[in-house]
Amino acid sequence: MSALSREFLLNISFDFEYFPLLIVVALAWLVPMVMSLFRFNKIPTVIIEIVAGYFIGRYLLNSFSAESFKMLEFLALTGFIFLMFLSGLEINVDQIIASMPKKKITYSRFLKNPLLVGLAIFIITLVLSYIGAIFLSSLVDIKNKWYFALIMVTTSVGIILPILKNRGEINSRYGQMLILAAAIADILSITLFTFTAFILINGFKIELLLILALFITFYVFYYIGIRYNNITIFKKLTFQLSHAASQISIRGTLLLILIFVVLAQYIGEEVILLGAFLGGLLLSVFLHKERSLLIIKLDGMGFGFFIPIFFIMVGAKFNPADLKEFDNSLFIFLGLLLITLFAVKVIPSFLWSRLFGYKKAISGGFLMSSRLSLIIAASAIGLEMEVISPGINACFLIMAVITCLISPVIYNYLNPGNILTGNKIIIIGGSSTGVLLARRLKMHGKAAVIVEKNKDRFKEMHSKGLNAFLGNGTDVSIYNQLNLKPLNYVIVSTNSDKENIKICELLRKEFNHEKIISKSDNSYIEQTLKRLNVEILDVTRVIATTIENLILRPTTYHALVETFENFSVEEITITKREIDGLQVKEIPFHEDGTLILVKRGNSMFIPHGETYFKLGDVINVFGTDSALEDIKSKLS
C-alpha cells in the first residue's frame, strides 16, 4: 500500500456509532414486511413507522448518548428534504397548464374548470380554517391563529393519488378535479408557510423579497431546461451515463435539490421547505412521471432509506407528556380539532355537487381531509419557531394518523367504486404477460380485471393490489358477473392455445363480442382466430418488429415504449361539431403536439395544413401531456 493510501485511510474517522442507525434501518425494513404479511395494505406505511418509532425511541434509542443522535438527525432532515422534493414531484404541472382558462369565464365554465374550482376551494378552506382557529382558541391557548389555520389547510396528494389510481378514477373528470385541488392546496400552503415563517422570525423587512429569488431561480432553470432539453449531444450523454456506475440522472437530481436547498438556507432556515418543494416541481415539468425510470430510482432512494428515517424519528421524538398541558380538556380539544379538520375540507367540496352530485362531492371532501407529510412538517416548523406549543404539535401528529386512516374509509363508504360496472379491460389468464399488462394499464389510469382460475395465483395477484377475479374464462356466467359491455376490450392470454380459441369462440358466439385480442404462435391458430374476427397479436412478428425498431429507430422506441422521455401517443376521436369541415391550419394546436395520422373509415393518411377534418375521424397525436390535453379539448 502506498504512503498516500495509508495517509488517506488514517485521516478517515471511524468514530461513529452505527448501532442506532442499524435499529432504525431494521425497523424501516421490518414495518412493510409485517404489514404485507398481515395484509394491512390499506394503512399508510408511514403511520406504522411513526408508531413504531415512538416505541423504539422510548425503549431502545433513549439509552444512547446525544452524540449518537447526530447522524440520525442529519439523515432525518435529509429525509424531510427528500419528502418535500418528492411532494413537488407529485404535482402534474402539465395538468395545471392545460386547465388554464382559455375563454371568457362564466359560472358554468368556472364549475367545470379544475384549476379555478381548486383555487376557490383553497380560499374557502383557508377562511374556514381561520374561523376554526379562532373557535378553538377559546378552548386552548393558540399563540398564532393564522399559522394554526395554515396547518389545517394542508392535504396529502400522496394519499389521494394512489386511492384514485387503484379505483381507476385517475383520468376521470372527478379524479382530475380532486387531484388538481390537492395539488393547489400543496403549492399554495407551502408558499404561505414560507412567507409566514419568515415574517414571524424576521418581521416585515426588505429581505422578505429574497424569497422571490427562489422563484426567479425556478424560472431560470425552467427557461434553460425548455431551451436546451432537446440538444442532441446533451440527450445522448445523459442517456449513455444514466446507467451502471455513472447514474448521471440521479447525480443531476441531487445537484438540483441541493441548489434549491442551499439557496433557501442562505435566505433562512424556514425557507428550506419551499426550496426542496420547488426543486421537485421543476423536475416534474421535464418528466413523464408515470413512465420515468428516474422516478423509480428516486422513490427507491427516498422511500427506501431517507424518508422512513424521518418518520421513525418523528415518532421517536413524540412525547405523550406534552399532552398534559391540556389538563382535562384534551379529549374535547382532540374531538373538536378532528371535526374542524374535516369541516374545512368537506364544506368547500359542495362546489363539486352540481357536476357530480352531493354524495360524490362530500366523499371527495373527506378524501381531501387526509393529511400526512405537510401537516407534520408545518407543525414541526411551528414548534421550532415557538408559535405552537409542544402539546398542539403532538395533537397535530395524532390528527395526521387519524385522518389518514379515517378519510379513505369514509370516501370508499360514501363513494363505493365497483370495477365490474365501469369501463374496464378484461384480461383472461393471470400469466406474467397478463399481470404486466394490467400493471402498465394501471400506470396509464386504465382499469383492468384479470380472470384467473388458479386460486393461489388469484390470491397472490389480489394481495399485490391488482383487480383479480376468480373464475374460468370458458364459463359463460363469468362474463355475466363481470357485466361485459360492447365497449370492453377482452384480452385472451391463457397458457393454452386451445383454451384461447375456445374462449374467443364463446365470446363471439354467445355474446357477439367484437373487441377481442389474442395471440398466435403459428399459422393454424392465426387462421382460426381470423375466422372469428379476433384481433391477432403475432408473437413472432412483434419480437421481430421490436428488434427492428431498436436497430432502425431506437430513440422513438425508447420514447414510446420504455421509460426515458416525456412524450406519449394518443388516439383522439373528433366529436366536436364545430371542427367538422375545418382545415388543420385553421386550428391553433399546441406547439408541443404533432398530428401523425388520421383514420377515416377504413382509410388512413398523414395530415397536412390543407387536410379537412370530419366528425368521427380518429387522430393519432404525439406530444407532451399538456399538448395532448389541449388538442383533446379542441377536438372532442
Tell me the average pLDDT across 12-31.
82
Q: Per-residue pLDDT for 107 more than 60?
A: yes
Q: Per-residue pLDDT for 338 more than 90?
A: yes
Q: Per-residue pLDDT for 546 more than 80?
A: no
Query: Nearest 5°: CA angle at 364, between 358 and 365?
Result: 90
Query: DSSP of 218-249, one letter per residue?
Result: HHHHHHHHHHHTT-HHHHHHHHHTSSTTT-HH
Going by pLDDT thresholds of 50, 70 and 90, the confidence category of residue 443 is low
Position 101, amino acid: P
Q: What is the pLDDT of residues 209-223, one digit of tens each?
A: 888 888 888 888 888
β-pair type (468-470, 535-538): unpaired
The pLDDT assigned to 234 comes to 57
Rounded to whole angstroms, how far apart are CA atoms 47 and 43? 7
Going by pLDDT thresholds of 50, 70 and 90, the confidence category of residue 542 is confident
User: In a 3-state reduction of DSSP, which class is residue 343?
Assistant: helix
Rounded to whole angstroms, how far apart are CA atoms 507 and 304? 45
Residue 223 · residue 124 · CB < 8 Å? no
Rounded to whole angstroms, how far apart are CA atoms 585 and 416? 45
CA dihedral (621, 626, 627, 631) positive or negative: positive
Position 23, amino acid: I
Helical residues (DSSP H) of 244-292, grouped into ranges: 248-267, 272-286
Helical residues (DSSP H) of 350-452, grouped into ranges: 353-356, 358-368, 373-384, 390-414, 432-443
Tell me the average pLDDT across 87-98.
76
The pLDDT assigned to 563 comes to 43
The pLDDT assigned to 318 comes to 86
The pLDDT assigned to 565 comes to 43
Question: Look-up: residue for cell 402534474?
Answer: 92
Q: Per-residue pLDDT for 249 more than 80?
A: no
pTM > 0.95: no
Tell me the average pLDDT across 348-375.
89
The pLDDT assigned to 127 comes to 95
Tell me the average pLDDT across 330-347.
93
The pLDDT assigned to 201 comes to 83
Q: Per-residue pLDDT for 173 more than 50?
A: yes
Query: What grid cell was written down for 100?
Result: 388554464
Going by pLDDT thresholds of 50, 70 and 90, the confidence category of residue 291 is very low
Going by pLDDT thresholds of 50, 70 and 90, the confidence category of residue 346 is very high
Tell me the average pLDDT across 372-390.
85
Domains and CATH numbers, the chain: 3-140+158-331+373-391 (1.20.1530), 425-545 (3.40.50.720), 567-635 (3.30.70.1450)
% of the chain surpassing 90 pLDDT:
11
Query: What grid cell was written down for 223?
Result: 427557461
**What value does the mean pLDDT of the chain take?**
81
> Would you say how long the chain is, in residues?
636
Tell me the average pLDDT across 10-25.
75
Cα–Cα distances in angstroms (integers) from residue 109 to residues 35, 50, 117, in the given order: 45, 43, 10
Strand order in the sheet with 535-538: 468-470, 448-452, 425-428, 490-492, 516-520, 535-538
Tell me the average pLDDT across 454-461.
82
Going by pLDDT thresholds of 50, 70 and 90, the confidence category of residue 564 is very low
Q: Per-residue pLDDT for 232 more than 60?
A: no
The pLDDT assigned to 348 comes to 94
